[in-house]
Amino acid sequence: MELREKELACEIVRDLLPLYVDGMVSDVSKKSIDNHLEQCTECSEIYQDMTCHLEMETPPTEISDVKRFLKKTKKMYFLYGLGGLSFIAVLVCLIVDLAVNKGITWSLIVGSSCLFADALLYALFTCKKNKICTSMAVISVGAFVLLSVIQITRYYLLGTGTVWLFRYGLPILLLWLLVLWLPVLGGTFLKWNIWDCTALFLFLVIIGNYATKLITGDYVWEDVFHMQGFTGNALGEVIGIMIFVMVGRVTKWKK
């Protein structure tokens, strides 16, 4: 009778060993299995074999460190290569600009554009925390610098165009940066899901389109309330807002 009870106990313990190894048994079961393994040599050997196989399947720390180093090295080589190509492109444009225009003109725009793109890619590849906010900060500063360079190059160095930066450029830039920033802040700090952030973005796009046309003089306030203007400028966004809001609600209900 005692032999059968021992065999039954061994069978139960062996069935529970995979869960025991993974730490997924209750405290009471763990204590019972511990006591059994101390007394039963056969079950203890089976347990040792299971843990040995688990350790062999788990990659050593050194291998993980090497993989992490190789991944980081590939990333840095990519960034260095991209920076080198950008430098070569800017250098070629500068030489051509000096040869054709006898001075530095449009090559400033090319250089600023390459610097802007490289800074954004560097932020995306290297930033681990708050990547979206960091990228948005790079976009905000880079867009302002690029607009300023375009204004300086065209008006002061090439002698073409007008001083549009403060009248149109900056107001429109700040407007659309606000359109981009608000959904990002909502998702980062208010923990909104992607659907709600997208719906907010589309709503702000409607406001941004009307405000942009008001700034440039393409609209007057009376045109904002005309149904024809609304259909042409905001109907698609309104439909998108309704769809994304419904999808966001369904996603929350499922959770």
**The model's pTM:** 0.68
User: What pLDDT sits at residue 3?
Assistant: 44
Cα separation, 216 vs 200, in Å, equals: 24
Cα separation, 64 vs 75, in Å, equals: 17
Torsion angle defined by CA atoms of residues 43, 49, 54 and 58, in that order, rounded to the nearest 10 degrees = 150
The structural domains of the chain, with segments of one domain joined by +, span 2-57, 66-162, 164-255
The string of pLDDT tens digits covering residues 176-200 is: 999 999 999 999 888 888 999 999 9
Percent of the chain residues topping a pLDDT of 70? 84
Three-state SS at 173: helix
